[in-house]
Structure 1
C-alpha cells in the first residue's frame, strides 16, 4: 500500500514518505507507533533518541520488534547474505537487530 492508498483508506491520518533517521515531526507528535520495521535498521542508539525528540510533551513512542532471529527464514537470510554472489546486492551485509538483552 502506498501513501495515496493509505490516505484514502484512513482519511483522518496523515502519511508522509521520509527517511526515519532525519525525519522531523511538525508539529511534535502525541504518538509515534512503529510496527515490525526498526529491526532492519542498525543505528538504534541514535535512532531511538531522535524519535523521542519528535514527541510532544508526554508523548508516547510505541515500538514493536519481532524477536524471531532463530526462525528458519532468518537463518536462511543470514546464510544467503554470506555468499559472495550476493554482495553486489547487499554490500553492507544483512542488518540484524540487537538482541533483547542490549536494551
Structure 2
C-alpha cells in the first residue's frame, strides 16, 4: 500500500496504534499481524495469517468497526490486496468490493 504520511509518523502509528489495538482484540483465530515497509518509506505491507477463513472474516469485521480504520485510511492507500488459502464465500463477498483478489491453496509446506 502507498504511505500517505511522513515515514516516521507511519512507523509510530503502526507500532503504537495499529499493532497494539489489533493485539488487544485477542482474536482467537488470528495467528500473526505483521507490518513491513520499503526502505524509502513509500510503501507498506501487512501480512496476516489466520487459523481459517472465519478468523480472517472476524479480523476484517473488527477492523471496519474500530477507530483504527479511519486512522489507517488517513495514512495509507491500498494498492493491492491478496488473500491466499481456502476462503469461504462470506469472506469473498465481504472483501471483493474492496478490490481483494483470491488465490486458493495448491501445495507446499510451512515449518512453523
Q: Same fold (TM over 0.5)?
A: no
Alignment TM-score, normalising by the size of structure 2: 0.32
- Which has the larger helix fraction? 2
- Bigger CA radius of gyration: 1
- Which has the larger strand fraction? 2
